[in-house]
Structure 1
Amino acid sequence: MNPSTISPCIIVQNVQLARDFYSAHLNAVITFDCGWYVNMEIGTAGATLQFMQPQSPEQPLFQGGLTYNMQLQSTDLVNTMHDRIVGAGLPVVMPLEDHPWGDRGFATLDPYGVALYIYAETEPSAEFQQYFKK
């Protein structure tokens, strides 16, 4: 198997809530929207995500436990995004910190409890360098 892309589709009751959040706070560009399904692109690297309202009673709603790791190009951009998130009054569930595993990042939540870990790579500590395979 050799897929050309893999992207998450989150099943939610209200697609508009997700669409509005990602457009307003992460500059997502809507590439498809039929009301009950929306496809969004974030950034220029081809990152996409989708939200869909259930189309049958058997289709389960998202129950939480998902984190999007969103890598930015620099720690300055991470700092700017952190200030933007805090300024918008969104929750910060993991504080902005430099981590020994090799990044600077923080986490917030979308309206459905999906965690967004926003980070940029930094030099890992000696303790964590041994775990990198490349």
Structure 2
Amino acid sequence: MGIRSSSITIVTESLVATRQFYERHFQAQRLFDCGWYVVLRLSGPAAQEISLMRPQQGMEPFRGGAYVNLEVEDVDQLYANLTCAGLEAVNPLDDHPWGDRGFGLEDPSGAIVYCYQRIEPADEFKAYFIKAN
């Protein structure tokens, strides 16, 4: 099949505020913007993308329940930067036994942006990791 990339599209009536959130706090750059559909490239070597779409005729906006997971180099520094910028974590910065240290923020569309850094998992979680082929 050869998948080259994947991304998420969030359908939101808060498109501009959500775009500005990612541009300001995650240095996202617009690759495409026709007003009702925007493609953002997040900073970093992996060049991940997130798309935002204003609801079109008959389309329901996003109602929550999704996490955008961002693995970062220094989660403590990012947490400090974002909370100093006035953002409030909906999931506090903490070490998790499954092998990450992270926190979550809510973007203007209602999606949770979970920022994390890998750490050594607790013994009870080590057996659940599967080696890729």
Q: 1:109 deviation in Å?
A: 0.7
Deviation (angstroms), 1:16? 1.0
Which runs of structure 2 are paired with 1:8-27 in the superposition (5 Å)?
8-27=8-27
Gaps of 5+ in 1: none
Structure-2 separation of matches of 1:132 and 1:3 = 22
Once residues 62 and 19 of structure 1 are traced to their aligned partners in structure 2, the CA distance between those partners, rounded to angstroms, is 15
Runs of 4+ in 1 over 4 A off after TM superposition: none
Following superposition, the deviation at residue 85 of structure 1 comes to 1.4
Aligned length: 130
Aligned to 1:62: 62
Return the offset for 1:5: 2.0
CA distance in 2, matches of 1:63, 1:28: 23
* Identical residues among aligned pairs (%): 39
Residue 130 of structure 2 is aligned to residue 129 of structure 1: no
Q: Which amino acid aligns with 1:52?
A: M
The equivalences for 1:101-112 within 5 A come to 101-112=98-109
* Partner AA of 1:42 in structure 2: L
The separation in 2 between residues aligned to 1:53 and 1:96, in whole angstroms, is 31
Letter in 2 for 1:37: Y
TM-score by length of 1: 0.91
Correspondent of 1:80 among 77, 80, 94: 77
User: Which residue identity lines up with residue 72 of structure 2 in the other structure?
Assistant: L
Structure 1 distance, partners of 2:5, 2:29, is 18
